[in-house]
Amino acid sequence: MLLCRPSLVSACIFSLATVSGRATTVAEATEQLSGAIAAKDQARVDACAREFIAALGNKAGQATEAPEFILPDEDAKALEAEQVPGLFDRAFASLQADAWWKSNPPGTEAPAPLRVVASVIEGCLAAREADCGPAEEFLKEARSAGDFLLAVQKLGGKEVFPFPAWKGKRGRYGMIADRLLRDAEAAGKASEAIQNGWIVSDQGSGEMNLDNSLAGQALLSLHAATREAAYLEGARAAAQWAEKQPIVPMAHLNSYSVTLLARLAEVTGEKAHLDAALEICRLGILPTQLREGPNAGRWASPTDAKMVYHFLNLRAITVLLLAVPQDSADRPALEQALRLGLKAHNEKIIEQGGTSLDVTLEVYCLLLEHKEKLSALLTDTLTFDAARMIFRAAVEEYRLEHPTLSPGTWGHFLKFTTAKGK
């Protein structure tokens, strides 16, 4: 059985590869890779990943859609630390006006998934550290959102931060709910998959990793700000759920859990979480990254090759690289993957502008926050130049009042800018 939905890996595209004297389709190669990952057989995973790449042929590393670039005006300047105060006001006013988690009890239908609430927490806490405005008000909003996350997690009763069990909802979020509900019905587990109006199982597809990870990470940030144990325990429960889930062939779906587990390991010092993150990365992220050819550094799947998912994978690798000991046997492979991944797009970003800003801005801030540890790697991949372009594009989008950036990403950027100026 496929662990990952065929549409996610473009399994409808048939390309030929010679394996044991016969042609292998992308769907067959994906199934072989799924089986190897499930068996946790690294040598077999690596071999099956090569077969998967061969089956994709010239579509390996070619995204299903071209990225849209934002080229700022030539006179657009980067943000300076002294300009930061007040720049979270617009985002804060908007999230306060839309604070549905205050008026919607956890047992009622939520208008948006929990990733939205998580972003509010991250944004408010980052803005608080950046001295962007009323610190106590920022913390109050973050606590309110965090308490809602904990209540929903408890309501679901399965450790995971669940997904709303919408039926007939339009748009991208509605499509996700429809797929999750169909999968549960097809598996004969519809009654188990829904608890108190929330979906608590994705049947091993990996689709619930995103909200679970972002909510867990938001609670880690809230624990760091308040030292309240409940937030840490909520994040720990999310991590425990993540560790029990199957690793899937789609790298970016695995990346969410890697990021959560690596961050939790740094906070708690618990090696088991770091080991789990490394295993997911070894089996479910690194094998399908292209090592050579014109698309070197990209991920083979046309879905994973999308710019936004490419940088989600780089975020996970970066967080993991920062968490592992200097003498870790995994460090060379992680450094190589990050180097290849940055080289794959940095020149294009420098030439054409910012893209997928809600993810790329966060990743470049993270990289430059740790430039002392990563200096050689960042220099030879033109990352400093690419980061400047991303930062200028973000400021331009803010100036034009385009709703490009989530509260979490914008707050992170303001915090980074403030720290850089000190």
pLDDT tens per residue, range 204-258? 999 999 999 999 999 999 999 999 999 999 999 999 999 999 999 999 999 999 9
Taking phi over 0 as left and psi of -120 to 50 as alpha, with beta for the rest, 274 belongs to alpha
Amino acid at 372: E
What is the pLDDT, as a whole number, of residue 281? 98
Domain shared by 37 and 113, yes or no = no
d(CA 395, CA 202): 37
Task: Express as a percent the part of the chain with pLDDT over 70.
Answer: 94
Task: Express as a percent the part of the chain with pLDDT over 90.
Answer: 88
Among 59, 76, 99, give the residue marking a domain's end.
59
Q: Model confidence at 22, in pLDDT bands (50, 70, 90)?
A: low
Placement of tokens 């979020």 in the chain: 173
Q: State yes or no: pLDDT of 125 exceeds 60.
A: yes
Q: State yes or no: pLDDT of 160 exceeds 50.
A: yes
Reported as a single tens digit per residue, the pLDDT across 379-422 is 999 999 999 999 999 999 999 888 889 999 999 999 999 998 66
Q: Are 411 and 127 in contact (CB under 8 A)?
A: yes
Domain shared by 147 and 86, yes or no = yes
Separation in Å, CA 233 to CA 161, 202, 216, 397: 13, 22, 9, 37
Domain shared by 301 and 215, yes or no = yes
Which DSSP category does 6 fall into? G
H-helix segments, 287-370: 307-323, 331-352, 357-369
Placement of tokens 């400047």 in the chain: 388
Q: State yes or no: pLDDT of 8 exceeds 70.
A: no
For the chain, give the number of residues: 422
Domain shared by 24 and 110, yes or no = no
Q: State yes or no: pLDDT of 117 exceeds 90.
A: yes
- From the list 113, 117, 116, the residue with the least C-alpha distance to 174 is 113
Strand 163-164 and strand 198-199: the pairing is antiparallel
d(CA 178, CA 368): 39
- From the list 286, 288, 283, 313, the residue with the least C-alpha distance to 35 is 283
Domain shared by 318 and 398, yes or no = yes
What is the pLDDT, as a whole number, of residue 420? 83
d(CA 106, CA 120): 17
Residues paired with residue 70 on neighbouring β-strands, in sequence order: 354
d(CA 245, CA 70): 37
What is the pLDDT, as a whole number, of residue 74? 85
What is the pLDDT, as a whole number, of residue 404? 85
Q: Are 247 and 205 in contact (CB under 8 A)?
A: no
Domain shared by 45 and 173, yes or no = no
CATH of the domain at 353: 1.50.10
Among 13, 44, 59, give the residue marking a domain's end.
59
What is the pLDDT, as a whole number, of residue 422? 65
Q: State yes or no: pLDDT of 358 exceeds 80.
A: yes
Q: State yes or no: pLDDT of 86 exceeds 50.
A: yes
What is the pLDDT, as a whole number, of residue 1? 27
Q: Are 204 and 246 in contact (CB under 8 A)?
A: yes
Domain shared by 10 and 133, yes or no = no
Domain shared by 149 and 293, yes or no = yes
Q: In whole angstroms, how large is the CA radius of gyration of the chain?
A: 21
Task: State the chain's mean pLDDT as an integer.
Answer: 93
Domain shared by 7 and 40, yes or no = yes
d(CA 172, CA 193): 20
Domain shared by 399 and 362, yes or no = yes
Domain shared by 183 and 317, yes or no = yes
Residue 291 has phi, psi (to 5 degrees) of -100, -15
**Full residue range of the structural domain in which residue 19 is found:** 1-59
Q: Model confidence at 10, in pLDDT bands (50, 70, 90)?
A: very low
Q: Model confidence at 50, in pLDDT bands (50, 70, 90)?
A: very high
Domain shared by 12 and 160, yes or no = no
Among 59, 82, 106, give the residue marking a domain's end.
59
Q: Are 38 and 271 in contact (CB under 8 A)?
A: no
Angle between helix 307-323 and 271-284 (nearest 10)? 140
pTM of the predicted structure, to 2 decimals: 0.93
Which helix (H) or strand (E) element contains residue 23?
A: strand 22-23
- Label each residue of 227-286 as H, E or C: CCHHHHHHHHHHHHHHHHCCCCCCHHHHHHHHHHHHHHHHHHCCHHHHHHHHHHHHHHCH
Q: Model confidence at 5, in pLDDT bands (50, 70, 90)?
A: very low
Q: Model confidence at 42, in pLDDT bands (50, 70, 90)?
A: very high
What total of structural domains would you count in the chain?
A: 2
